[in-house]
């Protein structure tokens, strides 16, 4: 616990990917980041709140990166991209890196993943009616009742 919040890592925080087992890498990577923060805090206890907040931020950012792919995986545009692979500009390699769970820290694949996002959205224009339908279905399926979002103390 840092401050008044708990730092959750690995599958305790988010069960991400049962298909490619990227969650294993994410769990191990978040544990390594937390271990480094603990090591730093042992030498400088006053920095605990800042250190653990930084780990929390990096873990959440990494999950957002992977979450985008999970939510888009079943879309018509993604199906088209996966059925017509092309490693032009190293994009395919960047997607494989993402599927392996490489989502944290400064990575050279980030630029190529942003390009992949742009290509994905351009392909969505080709399949616009189907993509909108898929988005609505996903949004309805993942919506949570407001009372479940309320934190009870």
Every domain of the chain and the residues it spans: 10-142
Tell me if 68 sits within 8 A of 116, measured CB to CB: no
**DSSP string of the chain?**
-BTTB----HHHH----TTT-HHHHHHHHHHHHHHHHHHHHHH-GGGHHHHHHHHHHHHHHHHHHHHHHHHHTTSHHHHHHHHS---GGGHHHHHHHHHTT--SSS-TTHHHHHHHHHHHHHHHHHTHHHHHHHHHHHHHHH---HHHHS---
> Quick count: other Cβ atoms within 10 Å of Cβ 139?
10
Q: Taking the CA atoms of the chain, what radius of gyration do you get in angstroms? A: 18
Rounded to an integer, the average pLDDT of 108-113 is 79
Res. 7 pLDDT band, cuts 50 70 90: low
Query: For residue 126, is pLDDT > 60?
Result: yes
- Highest mean predicted confidence (pLDDT) among 50-54, 90-94, 135-139: 50-54
What is the pLDDT of the chain when averaged over all its residues?
Answer: 76
Query: For residue 18, is pLDDT > 70?
Result: no
Helix or strand or coil: residue 127?
coil
Query: For residue 36, is pLDDT > 80?
Result: yes
Rounded percentage of the chain residues whose pLDDT exceeds 90: 1
Res. 145 pLDDT band, cuts 50 70 90: low
Comparing 19 with 87, the larger pLDDT belongs to 87
Say what angle helices 76-83 and 128-142 make with each other, to 10 degrees: 120
Q: What is the pLDDT of residue 153?
A: 43
Query: What does the DSSP 8-state code read for residue 103?
Result: -
- Highest mean predicted confidence (pLDDT) among 37-51, 69-83, 109-123: 37-51
- Highest mean predicted confidence (pLDDT) among 1-5, 17-21, 89-93, 106-110: 89-93
């Amino acid at each position: 616990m840092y401050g008044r919040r708990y730092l959750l890592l690995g599958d305790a925080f988010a069960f991400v990917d049962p298909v490619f087992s990227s969650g294993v890498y994410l769990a191990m990577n978040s544990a390594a980041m937390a271990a480094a923060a603990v090591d730093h805090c042992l030498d400088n206890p006053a920095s605990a709140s800042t250190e653990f907040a930084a780990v929390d931020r990096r873990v959440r950012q990494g999950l957002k990166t992977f979450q985008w792919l999970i939510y888009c995986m079943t879309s018509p545009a993604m199906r088209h991209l996966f059925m017509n692979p092309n490693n032009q500009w190293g994009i395919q390699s960047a997607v494989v890196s993402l599927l392996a769970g490489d989502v944290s820290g400064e990575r050279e694949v980030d630029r190529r993943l942003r390009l992949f996002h742009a290509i994905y959205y351009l392909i969505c224009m080709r399949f616009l009616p189907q993509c909108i339908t898929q988005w609505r279905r996903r949004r309805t399926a993942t919506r949570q009742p407001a009372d479940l979002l309320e934190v009870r103390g």
